[in-house]
Chain A
Amino acid sequence: MSFLLGRDFLFANAVTGGLLVALVCSLLGIYVILRRMVLLGVALPQAGAAGVAAAFWLTGHVHGPGQGHFGALAGSLLATFGALALLLVAQRRGRSPAEWSIGSLLALASAATVLFVAIDPTGDLELTNLMRGELLAIGDTDLYLLAAATAAALVLFGLFRREILLASFDPEFARTIGREPARADALLFLLLGTAISLGVMTAGPLVVFGFLVLPPLAALRLAPRLGAAFALAAAVAAGASVGGFAVAYHADLPAGPTSVALAGGAWLLAAAFGRLRARRGGLRALLLLALLAGGAGLLGCAAPRRGAEPAPLPDGSLPDLTGRGPVAVAPFRNETGDPLRLPESNPLDELGRAAGDPFAGPGRSVPDALQALAVQELTRRSVSVRSVDEARAIFPRPPADAAGATRRAQEAGLQGPVLLGTLRRFVVTGQGGLLLARLELLLVDPADGSVLWRGEASRPVPVRSALTLQEVLIDAGPALFSQAFDRP
């Protein structure tokens, strides 16, 4: 799983960001559980999500590095701390149980989130992603901000650990020895609010709530001391976060919910171990747990892999190109009538860089991404291919036709075939439905302008779990090229 954290990995930022959120939430979550404020743990992330939705609506929304993102962060912070302040005021002034006001906040925040999404014509996809716990689009700036905030939170949490424990466990005793529990409470809520705001921005309310609750519950089931509980919660959170991402990557599932499900599994195992330990003693329980974990691990190993090293594919309908030199994949023409622009900070950046930076500069679009994917798919079929950079140097713009490509290739003294692509249709039907695409490919020999091969992808491709264009590409790209290359 170490490849997940490597800088070359497509989603390295997302994995690191998810890990940071999981760590800080699980550590603070110990007090969410011990202070019996689990309902607050679900209400505050929801308030943060409502703040993000409101910010998207107010700012016209751009979810990527830049102004829009900081606006959303401000929305999340304002909503989370505003909700906290309201709850504290209600608790001080009111005589009703705290659950009443927290429950009301949860209901209102949930409704507000849905309403903001409903009236925001541009932000709904990104926000739906956020609500689902997708972790894909974390830019470098977001990651640095998250890392700095996490480090600061952990340092403060460590420095004031005894004050927070005293204020939580026995505030009256704290006051009799000259400590002011209200200050420690304020610090704890400040840390919680910050962690929740940033976590909601990064991973969504589901992931934040899951990691506030499940790793601490698992840890408190097993740990004999408070220090051990913190260590165990962090370990469970780290394992569930990175492991969840690995499972999601292999099984094509949303990463956040998968991580939360793994954390839930850890809690169930911990609960089972706790019961067994009570009945049969620690050693037997440990052996049984090891057996269970081993079985789960074997199942995990047996799961189909969609790893970093894709297996070579047969050439399909492609002709034998041995001795003709490397193929240059020219930029694809966009004949859809839609610019098909990809938002900034999309994860295909990394994929593109690995294949030769096809997305340099602004104005990246679906055809650009398809060009990079074509290079990747030809490579998987053991075809010798020029990098996207080389191809772009020869073909700064998409050739109009085979003759134009031949002329340009001859001018550049290009040896080897040229692959031309024309995208005529690219439409996703309904919410999470089908991709209706038509991609025509042409392999031309620049020596004489003859057509070596023609291929086409026109069958619908299911993209059920994809909500953004980049997700559609990730899900459907290989299938499109499989249709074109492999269909006789």
Chain B
Amino acid sequence: MNAANPLVRAIEADFGYQGRAVVRGASLEVVPGEFVALAGSNGSGKTTLVRGLLGLVPVMAGRVERRPGLRVGYVPQRETLDPLYPLTGFDVTLLGACRDLPFWRVAGAAERGRARAALAATQGESFARSRYATLSGGQRQRVLIARALATEPALLVLDEPTAGVDPQTEAAILEVLVRLARERGLAVWMVTHHLHATTGRVDRLVHVRDGRLAREGAA
């Protein structure tokens, strides 16, 4: 870990929507190679907190510092993506691999290779050619993680990646994330309700209660 040079640092930051702060006084650091689980009840502000750290939600007070040129791989809640789109698992992953491609260029061998490697890292090659809409919850999650990985991020942020999947799939997804954090030195921040599954796998557990960081500690 490199606590002296965090990827993201929040100092007494408030995050919210339409003038209303949902998360208040958040102070924390995101450091490379650390696997952090962010837990809390529904509506406590977990998602707002990670979205605030990524800059998707405005900072209403305090400060958020991001390392210049920080590359973030974001895995949203998979229910937010419309299965109507006729995209395969590979197509979705390729969107991440084209991150640095100018808009007028067609995805080439390099981008395709990066997408394939990302799918391999999440053990998603077997369903890469299937339509995203036809994939199971766990398979979709692997595709979305692969898409985030294909952006070659330093920080991977996942919003409830194991919601609605069976315990075996949940364990398999978590193993993939642990491996990515260990082998690639990725900072992984994961919003979850399933604390029991994270036990022994994450480096740190952050609790959010009523919009405030309630407790931080080793898992």
- Is B58 an interface residue when CB atoms closer than 8 A count as contact? no
Q: How far is the CB of B181 from chain A (nearest CB, A)?
A: 19
Kindly state the separation between the CA atoms of A34 and B81 in the bound complex, as whole angstroms.
11
Residue A163 at the B interface, CB < 8 A?
A: yes
Q: Which of B55, B86, B96 contacts A225 (CB 8 A)?
A: B86
Q: How far is B80's CA from A372's CA once the two chains are assembled, in angstroms?
A: 64
Task: Tell me the bound Cα distance from A34 to B95 in angstroms.
Answer: 17
Contact A169 B95 (CB under 8 A): yes
Contact B56 A176 (CB under 8 A): yes
Answer yes or no: A362 CB below 8 A from chain B CBs: no
Interface positions of A from 115 to 173, Cβ below 8 Å from B: 159-160, 162-163, 165-166, 168-170, 172-173
Choice from A163, A168, A229 contacting B103 with Cβ under 8 Å: A163
A487 → chain B closest CB, angstroms: 62
A341 at the interface (CB under 8 A from B): no
Q: Min CB distance, A270 to chain B, in Å? A: 13
Write the chain B residue with the least CB distance to A184: B103
- Count chain B residues whose beta carbon lies closer than 8 angstroms to a beta carbon of A: 28
Q: Which of A33, A163, A173, A229 has the largest number of chain B CB atoms within 10 A?
A: A173
How many chain A residues touch B (CB < 8 A): the figure is 25
**CB closest chain-A residue, reference B132:** A169
A165 to B85 Cα, complex, angstroms: 9
B25 at the interface (CB under 8 A from A): no
Q: Is A214 an interface residue (CB 8 A)?
A: no
Name the contact of B91 in the complex, choosing from A33, A177, A226 (C-beta under 8 A).
Answer: A226
Q: Given A177-B99, A225-B88, check contact A169 B82 (CB 8 Å).
A: yes
Residues of B within 8 A of A162 (CB): 95, 98, 101, 103
Q: How far is the CA of A172 from the CA of B72 in the complex (A)?
A: 12
Give, as a whole number of angstroms, the nearest-CB distance from B50 to chain A: 11
**Distance between Cα atoms of A159 and B73 in the complex (Å):** 25
A176 to B95, Cβ gap below 8 A? Answer: no
Nearest residue in B to A170 (C-beta to C-beta)? B81
* In the assembled complex, A306 has its CB within 8 A of some CB on chain B: no
B112 interface residue per 8 A CB criterion? no
Specify the chain A residue showing the minimal Cβ separation from B151.
A177
Q: Which residues of A contact B73 (CB under 8 A)?
A: 176
Q: Say how far A271's CB is from chain B's closest CB, in angstroms.
A: 15
Complexed CA–CA distance, A172 and B51 (Å): 9
- Is A304 part of the binding interface, using a Cβ–Cβ cutoff of 8 Å? no
State how many angstroms separate the Cβ of B151 from the closest Cβ of chain A.
Answer: 6
CB pair A226–B86 under 8 Å, yes or no, is yes
Residues from chain A with a CB closer than 8 A to the CB of B24 are: none
- Is A220's CB within 8 Å of the partner chain B? yes
Report Cα–Cα, A160/B87, bound state, in Å.
Answer: 17
Q: Is the CB–CB distance between A224 and B86 below 8 Å?
A: yes
Q: Is the CB of A159 within 8 A of B104?
A: yes
Chain A residues within 8 Å of B76, by CB: 170, 172-173
Q: Indicate whether B131 reaches chain A with its CB closer than 8 angstroms.
A: yes
Q: By the criterion CB–CB under 8 Å, are A225 and B87 in contact?
A: yes
C-alpha spacing A33/B85, complex, angstroms: 10
Does residue A175 face the partner (Cβ distance < 8 Å to B)? yes
| A355: Cβ under 8 A from any B Cβ | no
- Please determine whether A165 and B86 come into contact, CB atoms closer than 8 angstroms: no
Closest to A219 in B: B86
Which residues from chain B contact A36 at a C-beta distance below 8 Å? 82, 84
Report yes or no: A165 in contact with B95, Cβ–Cβ below 8 A: yes
CA distance A474 to B88 in the complex (A): 52
List the B residue with the shortest CB-CB distance to A177. Answer: B99
- Assess whether B54 is interfacial by the CB under 8 Å rule: yes
B74 to chain A, nearest CB (A): 4
Contact A220 B86, CB 8 Å, known A170-B76, A172-B76, A175-B56? yes
Chain B's nearest CB lies how many Å from the CB of A200? Answer: 27
- Say which residue of A34, A170, A223 sits within 8 Å of B84 (CB atoms): A34
Closest Cβ–Cβ distance, residue B20 to chain A (whole Å): 13
Nearest-neighbor residue (CB-CB) of B75 within chain A? A173
Q: List 7 A-B contacts (CB under 8 A).
A: A34-B84, A34-B85, A169-B87, A175-B56, A177-B151, A220-B84, A220-B86
Extra contacts, 20 of them, besides A170-B76, A229-B86 (Cβ < 8 A), are: A34-B85, A36-B84, A159-B103, A160-B103, A169-B81, A170-B80, A170-B95, A172-B51, A172-B56, A172-B74, A173-B74, A176-B56, A177-B96, A220-B86, A223-B86, A225-B86, A225-B88, A226-B85, A226-B91, A228-B86
Which 8 A-B residue pairings sit nearest by Cβ, starting from the closest? A176-B74, A177-B99, A176-B72, A159-B104, A226-B86, A229-B86, A163-B103, A169-B85
